[in-house]
Amino acid sequence: MIIFKFNSVIVQINTNLAIIQPLHLGKEQKVTIHVLRLDLIHPIISGNKWYKLRFYLEEAINAGFNEIATFGGAYSNHIVATACACYKHNIKSVGFIRGEKNFPLSRTLQEAVSYGMELSFISRSDYKNKTTITANNHIQNRYWIPEGGYGILGAKGAESILNTVPLQEYTHIISAVGSGTMIAGLLNGSMPHQTVIGISSQKNNLSLESEILSLSFIENHRKLILLHEYHFGGFAKHPPELLNFMGEFWNKEAIPTDLVYTSKLFFAVRDLLEKKYFNPGDKILVIHSGGLQGNNYLPEKSLPF
Ligand SMILES: *Cc1c(COP(=O)(O)O)cnc(C)c1O
């Protein structure tokens, strides 16, 4: 159990549960695959969201802000994680949400509200301009966290994910990519002999690479490989083939995945193995980045886990 102490308030994150789970997958190719189960560290602030928020929260609290504002969609893990973390720290939170308000609210937003988050809905066209939203809604003592935790502090938090593993053993680190904040941190924390592979959850997000590199140390830039062909039609798109894979993967490995990020990640890992992308003897660390909020796109009980 690690206890992070921010001034007087304490958040407990159970890193005892952040276990490394070997997969059956890869045995045939003589490739070792270990999954870092960040999905298990906290029931709500699960996975990479906690790590990305750490240093923003610390900065806001240390500087005496009493309110935190951030951005996200109706199914955003980041929104719920921020709401929950602020609730635990007794800080007011405000979420600027993309799109019109729909009734009922998504389960994700209901959960954020249950942690006391105030929601403000922004039309899709206005949402594109975060600078204007920030300027129009800035009040004293309100600290802004960028969408998805994207930024230097977010990457610094994500880098600390690697402190929990025997890092030198691995030849490759592979993770899902949304805003690119997490993988920028992984890249910064990686060792010279390692390759870092990112599976983009979006279709044709070609600015992603420069966004990642702008948060990472130059000496690591050559080690990044971004793969753009595992989006299954686009962000949060989930054709039956993907949902079948999620069920199959659960049956074989007992690992739950979400339809936005980690299902596409593990599908890519399996596909790369089948294509002999890795060499026998390679040892791969797969980051299970947590957050099953994306499965709220489906009716309840659609998945076997
Ligand atoms: C947010 C999220 C990601 C993407 O992280 P970025 O830092 O935005 O790239 C990946 N996996 C899960 C489960 C997430 O919730």
201-242 residue pLDDT tens: 999 999 999 999 999 998 988 999 999 999 999 999 999 999
- Give the Cα separation of 109 and 101 in Å (integer): 10
Q: Is 77 in the pocket of ligand 1 (CB under 6 A)?
A: yes
Q: Can you give the pTM of this predicted structure?
A: 0.91
Q: Is 180 in the pocket of ligand 1 (CB under 6 A)?
A: yes
pLDDT digits over 170-200, tens only? 999 999 999 999 999 999 999 999 999 999 9
Query: Tell me: domain 49-149, CATH 3.40.50.1100, correct?
Result: yes
- Give the largest CA-CA distance in the chain: 59
Question: Could you tell me where the beta strands, DSSP code E, fall in the chain?
Answer: 2-6, 9-13, 20-22, 32-37, 67-72, 92-98, 118-122, 142-144, 172-177, 195-200, 224-227, 283-288
Q: Which amino acid is at 187?
A: L
- Give the Cα separation of 231 and 217 in Å (integer): 27
Task: State the distance from the centre of ligand 1 to the C-alpha of 148, rounded, in angstroms.
Answer: 8
- Residue of 304, 292, 290, 301 lying closest to 258 (CA atoms): 292
- Give the Cα separation of 80 and 84 in Å (integer): 6
Q: What is the pLDDT of residue 12?
A: 57
- Give the Cα separation of 196 and 173 in Å (integer): 5
Tell me the torsion sign for CA atoms 65, 88, 137, 128. positive
Q: Which of 77, 84, 289 to mutate to test the pocket of ligand 1 (most atoms within 8 A of CB)?
A: 289
Q: Is 176 in the pocket of ligand 1 (CB under 6 A)?
A: yes
- For 214, the 3-state DSSP assignment is coil
* From-to residues of CATH 3.40.50.1100 in the chain: 2-47+151-297, 49-149
The correct CATH number of 2-47+151-297 out of 3.30.70.3280, 3.40.50.1100, 3.40.50.720, 3.40.50.300 is 3.40.50.1100
Task: State the distance from the centre of ligand 1 to the C-alpha of 197, rounded, in angstroms.
Answer: 14
